[in-house]
Structure 1
Amino acid sequence: MKSINLQRTESLLMELIPQALSQLSNSKINSLPITGVNCKNGKYDAVVYFDGSDFDKNEVKEVIESLKKANGRIKSDVLASTGWYKCPNFKFELDTSLEKSKHIEDLFAQIKKDKTKSEEE
């Protein structure tokens, strides 16, 4: 169970990180949808999840590389917006939960289709 303070931090980062990304000149990451933030070790580390469904595997690697390079700038923007003494170290990861939920929806659709087909026979 996460503390309310930590949940607030994650929520605030969910708002601030996309704002910071929008200031960047890289078109691949400046409108990147952030789907979640998971803070670890208090506020020292944060895993930032993004939706990469529009990218292939190579592009995802490029996006992560670009995000790593922009990490300092993102941290500066977050610090400027919050007035915090220290900003978490961000680690960016592809959010695969959206892909999994789509796969589950596809399975349900297939089951429904098969069931309807067998009832007609």
Structure 2
Amino acid sequence: MTDIINQASGELVTYEPVGPAELELMIRVLTDRLEASVPVLRAMWHDRYEAERALIEGRAKAMLTAKGATVTEKRAEADLASLPLRLEFDLKKEALHAGEELQKALTAKLYGLLNLNKAVTATYQSYGHGR
């Protein structure tokens, strides 16, 4: 059903819950993981905006010092000069998007576990185990 990390060895282990208590634990662990992702994503957004500002500044400075005769030549020269900054910006955006997609996937998994938990709890209660 899901992969968890063995705390002692660090290896990824496939884990199948066998009861409501274990399912509840998985929900709690996943919820904690999602909560911990918020400050990480915030820092990634900060890094992305810093990289974007650096790119804008670097490109503008390159435009001012460009030797091209026309605006098009100056823009092309500035674009070439700011390629390392563009790469840095693109890498920050890529990491941010990957983090956001992971957060979405974890949220979807959490909703699935919550629905499964409702079904398991209802089953246990219908057999008299929940009393």
Q: Which has the higher helix share?
A: 2
TM-score by length of 2: 0.32
TM-score by length of 1: 0.34
Q: Which has the higher strand share?
A: 1
Q: Which has the higher contact order (CA 8 A, sep 6+)?
A: 2
